[in-house]
Structure 1
């Protein structure tokens, strides 16, 4: 029995998802590498794919393909669909991981920094071109493939992507935990220094020793966080944390220092 979604076989949509997620990853890496003038791995996951592109492509295919003969209606709906996907993705990351992977704050007609007019307009136009010209060619290639290849290929894709997503989610949760511990140590260091200003005698000596130990442990944690999560920090230069902004900034500085020391 073949399972379908909006009239499309599930294995077909799985193929489209994986293909466009990989294409999106390549485009993101090229775009960001040019902008930063160095090689950048833009993916949130371990593998070479950006799921938001895969989900976006599938959403456009199943919802808007029937309307591609009506350009006056199709283009505004393309803008709406891509904007909603980008907004929902950003909100999920913020609610679950307390982080923002990108930020359009300050740009014209932005919504919570996740969607802005300029980007939505660009994505809407690109989406229209995608459905009109690009996807029909990809669909022809898929339909010419043997059914056995598409069926077992879709199962492998689901297994690999599911595993990758789960492991990447764990990594992001661990990043949040590292930032929490680092934030606590930085706060303890500040409190110790404040107490040291008013201390004298034996108490001052003890606090000086404690301040030095706290500073050492804080720097160690800062270095460990920068080293372990350098992929996140490098791939998303606008990554922000509403819960632990200070420790995230400190981890970024530690990463910059590591780069300078390695040169």
Structure 2
């Protein structure tokens, strides 16, 4: 046990990626009451679980036979991996693809005590129960069969990872741009409201002056001209703001249009994803993805 060739390690990695996908998809699907193809990739593979399983096997090698040390090493190693993966993904893609912020004893939402303890028990389950039959199956395969399996799955895995990374990076850019547009739209709407209020107030004041100076035709005419000039100037400003509002709305719709089937699938596969900086924009895109599904 634990002494494998490079292609056997890779095959174990893919096997545990798939097992992780089954676990996560089942859990999220039961909670959502509908099937969810969970994960970052389109393939039924979760690299975090595959990496975690390989790390657990490596860490348990020096302490195998001691369940307490196996538990602690797996708990620590997997938690560090989960934290680093979550931290890097959020910095790259501007989203948390999992978020434990609502769980007690969490660290920045990337890890929490509950999942860390679960990693420890999973390490024991992996090394003492799950891995042994899988090891037997893999060791029965010939070298050629293993290499062909690893090569075939590896090509699909690399292609899917590249496409998923591109989609996630683009999604992050859309979130950032959409947040800026939302802020500009709010600013324009506030300016339009203030302009209308200002126009109404000035017109009211000028009419009041007209009533007071009704005896003087010349002054009345000047007041009316001033009122007309004010209304015209504000109408021009309002028209410019309306054009800007229209342009921003169109740009916002185009950004939503950049959510292709693949990017919307990325949102649906990660229903618990969150974003500290772009939360409102993310909620809008998730709603867009749900409408697309319907």
Could you say what secondary structure the match of 2:284 adopts? helix
Corresponding residue for residue 74 of structure 2: 78
- Which residue number corresponds to residue 270 of structure 2? 236
Say if 1:87 and 1:198 are closer, same or farther in 2 by CA, change over 3 A.
same
Equivalent residue, structure 1, for 2:55: 59
- CA distance in structure 1 between the partners assigned to 2:254 and 2:284 by the alignment: 12
- Distance, in Å, in 1 between the alignment partners of 2:93 and 2:5 is 33
Q: Tell me the equivalent position of 2:125.
A: 129
Tell me whether 8-17 or 236-245 shows the greater mean CA deviation.
236-245
> Aligned equivalents of 1:209 and 1:60: distance in 2?
59
| Cα pair distance change 1:126/1:11, threshold 3 Å | same
In structure 1, the partner of 2:241 is 207
Secondary structure of the 2:41 match is: coil
Cα distance, 1:257 vs. partner?
4.6
Tell me, in whole angstroms, the C-alpha distance in 1 between the residues paired with 2:179 and 2:186: 11
Moved more, 90-99 or 201-210: 201-210
Distance 1:155 1:215 in 2: 47
Structure 1 residue aligned with 2:27: 31
| Cα deviation, residue 66, structure 1 | 4.3
Change (3 A) 1:134 1:227: closer
Per the alignment, residue 152 of structure 1 pairs with 148
Question: What is the root-mean-square deviation of aligned Cα atoms in Å?
Answer: 2.1
Output the TM-score relative to the length of structure 2.
Answer: 0.79
Q: Which digits, 9 at most, give the CA deviation of each residue in 1:165-219, with x for residues without a partner?
A: 1121111111111222222322221222122123332222332343244334424
Q: 2:112 aligns with which of 110, 116, 131?
A: 116
- Where in structure 1 are there 5+ consecutive unaligned residues? 1-5
SS of 1:43 mapped into structure 2 = coil
| Residues 154/220 of structure 1: CA separation in 2 closer, same or farther (3 Å cut) | closer
How far the C-alpha of 1:256 sits from its partner, in A, is 4.2
Task: Give me the TM-score of the superposition, normalised by structure 1.
Answer: 0.88
- Asked if 1:252 corresponds to 2:279, the answer is no
Q: What is the CA-CA distance between 1:7 and the residue it aligns to?
A: 4.7
SS of the residue corresponding to residue 111 of structure 2 reads coil
Give the number of equivalent residue pairs. 255
